[in-house]
Amino acid sequence: MESDLAQRDVIGVQDAVLLEDIHSESIFIDNLEKRFKENLIYTYIGPVLISVNPYKELSTYDAGTVEKYRNVNFYEVPPHVFAVSDTALRAMRGEHADQCILISGMLSPIHMLI
């Protein structure tokens, strides 16, 4: 258990609902920064996925990663866009329920100038 706590101090928590103070913006941002420094660009807030642009290429989109997230429970694997998409696909097929994935982002002033 102590090693889990030490690891949390280094890489943050995978789901922001597990933060000690879920109402603290600074704690939330600190968690994202810890994860970002470890190239962990995805973090959940419950069923919502937050992604921080790494501004570099990461090897998180290969065929092996796709298989890791195929047909597993949403929270059994670390946060990833593949978990969201696989969960939506399985709900659409299994429950015959329409699904919607909202992708939202913000452009920096530099991107707007280019």
- Cα of 96 vs its chain's centroid, Å: 26
User: What pTM was computed for the model?
Assistant: 0.80
Predicted local distance difference test score (pLDDT) of residue 113:
44
> Any idea how long the chain is?
114
- Torsion sign (Cα): 57, 7, 80, 33: negative
Rounded to the nearest 10°, the torsion over CA 56, 79, 12, 40 is: -10
Separation of alpha carbons 79 and 48, rounded Å: 10
**Residuewise pLDDT in 10s, the chain (114 residues):** 445 555 666 789 999 999 989 899 999 999 999 999 999 999 999 989 999 988 888 888 889 999 999 999 888 999 999 999 999 999 999 999 898 888 887 655 544 444
Query: Contact, 11 vs 4, CB < 8 A?
Result: no
Q: Is the separation of the CB atoms in 67 and 103 below 8 Å? A: no
